[in-house]
């Protein structure tokens, strides 16, 4: 066991130059992922959750990334691409939302997995194909030897997602970043894929970053949760705590606005007014203040001053609301 955490991200920021000005998609976030644990990153469109994962993987195009992201002690930010390529797939791998665009339509599923394997381990094509059949079997694809010879379009949605997970696992990485891996799937198939990820994590001690807009999925798989809004982290807590005792007004609003299967009948949904902020012209101070009931009640100047940082509000629980009086 090394003393380093598996993934340690510090003050990560991502900026995109656009015709209308610089978009600050991620404004300095911190998080840590340990082996065998799952960090859930939750947020709405434009919150910066996907950009964060791409920046860690070194897959951002045309963006300026600053800060630090260390995988098992190795710095990833600013590392030349050829060195990153040796880590990508081997030490860390990614699972995307849409398997049909992430997999190449022209090559068989088996060939694609074998190719990824040979990139890192070399060996014969035959040995790599055998490895591909093995991992396809591991992720619960029936008749893996036959399916390995098929093309992605011959797979159903759920099977394709399994194939992409197999591709990610082929080189036995330590970290998996899954960006909305079940969003395109039917709910019964989503349950299968989540079950699979959790089984693989247990068997291999994988660290997982699960990026999703679905709080139900977060509750199902995450040990730790990071809530993002307008490019910043607004709350970070153990999953249990986040759902039972949310501190940030945005997290609370999100939970209150969610229709739930276990709701009392006739319970009114309390919607958050307004829309998520524009990244081109973000509100001053706390990005959430124009929609925040606490700000509406106080008009506190601190909400519109500097962007509030995360502060510890309880054991292992951090929130970025200046109006939250820390009593602990």
Partner 1 sequence: MTTETLHAADRAQPALSDALLSVRDLGMTFPGARGVLRRMPGVRAVDGVSFDVRPGETLGLVGESGCGKSTTGRMLVRLLDPTAGTVAFRGQDITRTSQGRLRPLRSKFQMIFQDPFASLNPRQTVQQIIAAPLRAQGASSGEIAREVRDLVQLVGLAPEHLERYPHQFSGGQAQRIGIARALATRPELVVADEPVSALDVSIQAQIVGLMERLQRELGVAYVFIAHDLAVVKHISHRVAVMYLGRIVEIGDKDDVYQRPAHPYTKALLSAVPLPDPAAERARERIVLLGDPPSPANPPSGCTFHPRCPKAQARCREEAPLLTLTTRAQQVACHYPET
Which of the ranges 16-24, 172-180, 271-279, 307-315 carries the binding residues for partner 1, by CB under 8 A?
271-279
Q: What residues pair up with 68 in beta bridges, in sequence order?
A: 10
C-alpha 218/C-alpha 239 separation (Å) is 8
- 60 vs 252, beta carbon nearer partner 1: 252
Using CB under 8 A, which of 16, 145, 243, 300 touches partner 1? 243
Q: Say whether 21 sits in a helix, a strand or coil.
A: strand
Listed residue (120, 42, 129) closest to 84, CA to CA: 120
Using CB under 8 A, which of 257, 284, 298, 326 touches partner 1? 257
Q: 142 Cβ partners below 8 Å, 6+ apart?
A: none
| Region 33-72 residues binding partner 1, contact defined as CB under 8 A | 44-45
E-only strand ranges, the chain:
7-18, 21-33, 38-42, 64-71, 74-75, 92-95, 175-179, 207-212, 224-229, 232-238, 311-314, 317-319
Is 92 a binding residue for partner 1 by CB under 8 A? The answer is no
Smallest gap from residue 222 Cβ to partner 1 (A)? 8
Q: What is the DSSP string of 171-202?
A: T--SEEEEESTTTTS-HHHHHHHHHHHHHHHH
Is 100 a binding residue for partner 1 by CB under 8 A? The answer is no
Smallest gap from residue 149 Cβ to partner 1 (A)? 20
| Count of Cβ atoms closer than 10 Å to residue 313 Cβ | 22
Using CB under 8 A, which of 34, 115, 150, 214 touches partner 1? 214
Q: How many residues in the shown chain lie near partner 1 by CB under 8 A?
A: 48
Listed residue (167, 171, 172) closest to 181, CA to CA: 167
Is 262 a binding residue for partner 1 by CB under 8 A? The answer is yes
Smallest gap from residue 59 Cβ to partner 1 (A)? 24
Instruction: Give CB contacts under 8 A, 24+ apart, made by 121-125.
Output: 121/171
What is the four-CA torsion angle of 228, 230, 234, 238, rounded to 10 degrees?
Answer: 0
Which of the ranges 126-134, 154-162, 201-209, 311-319 carries the binding residues for partner 1, by CB under 8 A?
154-162
Using CB under 8 A, which of 9, 133, 194, 211 touches partner 1? 194
Smallest gap from residue 119 Cβ to partner 1 (A)? 31
Q: 326 Cβ partners below 8 Å, 6+ apart?
A: 311, 312, 313
Smallest gap from residue 279 Cβ to partner 1 (A)? 13
Is 202 a binding residue for partner 1 by CB under 8 A? The answer is no
Is 327 a binding residue for partner 1 by CB under 8 A? The answer is no
The residues binding partner 1 (CB under 8 A) are: 44-45, 156-159, 186-192, 194-195, 213-220, 222, 239-240, 243-244, 253-255, 257-263, 265, 268-273, 275-276, 291
């Amino acid at each position: 066991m090394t003393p380093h955490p598996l993934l340690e991200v510090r003050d990560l920021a991502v900026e995109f130059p656009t015709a209308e000005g610089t978009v600050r998609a991620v404004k300095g976030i911190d998080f840590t992922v340990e082996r065998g644990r799952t960090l859930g990153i939750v947020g709405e469109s434009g919150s910066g959750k996907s950009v964060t994962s791409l920046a860690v993987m070194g897959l951002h195009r045309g963006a300026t990334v600053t800060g630090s992201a260390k995988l098992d002690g190795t710095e990833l930010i600013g590392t030349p691409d050829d060195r990153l390529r040796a880590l990508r797939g081997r030490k860390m791998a990614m699972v995307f939302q849409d398997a049909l665009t992430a997999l190449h339509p022209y090559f068989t599923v088996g060939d694609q997995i074998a190719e990824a394997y040979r990139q890192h381990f070399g060996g014969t094509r035959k040995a790599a194909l055998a490895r591909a059949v093995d991992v396809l079997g591991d992720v619960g694809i029936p008749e893996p030897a036959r399916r390995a010879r098929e093309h992605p379009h011959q797979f159903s949605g759920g099977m394709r997602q399994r194939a992409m997970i197999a591709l990610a696992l082929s080189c036995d990485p330590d970290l998996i970043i899954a960006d909305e891996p079940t969003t395109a799937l039917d709910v019964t198939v989503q349950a299968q894929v989540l079950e699979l990820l959790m089984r693989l994590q247990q068997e291999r001690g994988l660290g997982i970053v699960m990026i999703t807009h679905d709080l139900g999925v977060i509750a199902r798989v995450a040990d730790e949760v990071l809530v993002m809004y307008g490019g910043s982290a607004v709350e970070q807590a153990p999953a249990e705590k986040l759902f039972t005792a949310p501190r940030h007004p945005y997290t609370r609003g999100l939970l209150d606005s969610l229709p739930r299967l276990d709701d009392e009948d006739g319970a009114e949904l309390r919607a958050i007014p307004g829309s998520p902020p524009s990244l081109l012209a973000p509100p001053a101070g706390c990005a959430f203040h124009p929609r925040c009931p606490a700000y509406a009640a106080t008009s506190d100047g601190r909400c519109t001053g500097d962007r509030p940082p995360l502060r510890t509000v309880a054991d292992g629980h951090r929130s970025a609301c200046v109006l939250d009086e820390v009593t602990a």
